[in-house]
Amino acid sequence: MKMQTMFNKMALVCSVCGLAFVGAPLTSQADEVPASFQASPDVYKVLAENDEMRIGVATWKPGQKDNSHSHPKAAFYTVKECHARITASDGKVKEVNNKAGTARINPPVKSHTFENIGTTECQQVFVELKK
């Protein structure tokens, strides 16, 4: 996907996030574990941030699993399809298949890992509310 197209879609997600978060209280990390970009800097890259939010991109190679982390309230836009296994800190496992071009808004997510179990690179843009 061309970089300009990706940034246009990121802008759309950010504008949706702004609408969705108006009046919402800022939340803290769900668990006392490192933030995603601190736990797995090889996967999560921060693109921009201010006192209220952080915008980043996460890219997993086939078979790649990130380190345990949590997220505050956040929005995600799937750039490249993600067939993944999410393992919660309590050992519960969930498989997901996020199609390219889809977006979602998540409540805070407790400590977990995300593993790309697909055969292609998985990529998501995220916007997180900060403390």
Question: Helices (H), strands (E): how many in the chain?
Answer: 2, 9
3-state secondary structure of 19: helix
pTM (2 decimals)?
0.77
Residues spanned by the domain of 32: 3-129
Better-predicted residue by pLDDT, 131 or 65: 65
Q: What is the CATH number of the domain that holds 35?
A: 2.60.120.10
C-alpha to C-alpha distance for 45 and 58, rounded to whole angstroms: 6
3-class DSSP string for 38-95: HHCCCCEEEEEECCCEEEEEEEECCCCECCCEEECCEEEEEEECEEEEEEECCCCEEE
Domain count, the chain: 1
pLDDT at 19 over 70: no
Average pLDDT over residues 31-45: 91
pLDDT at 13 over 90: no
- pLDDT for res 110: 85
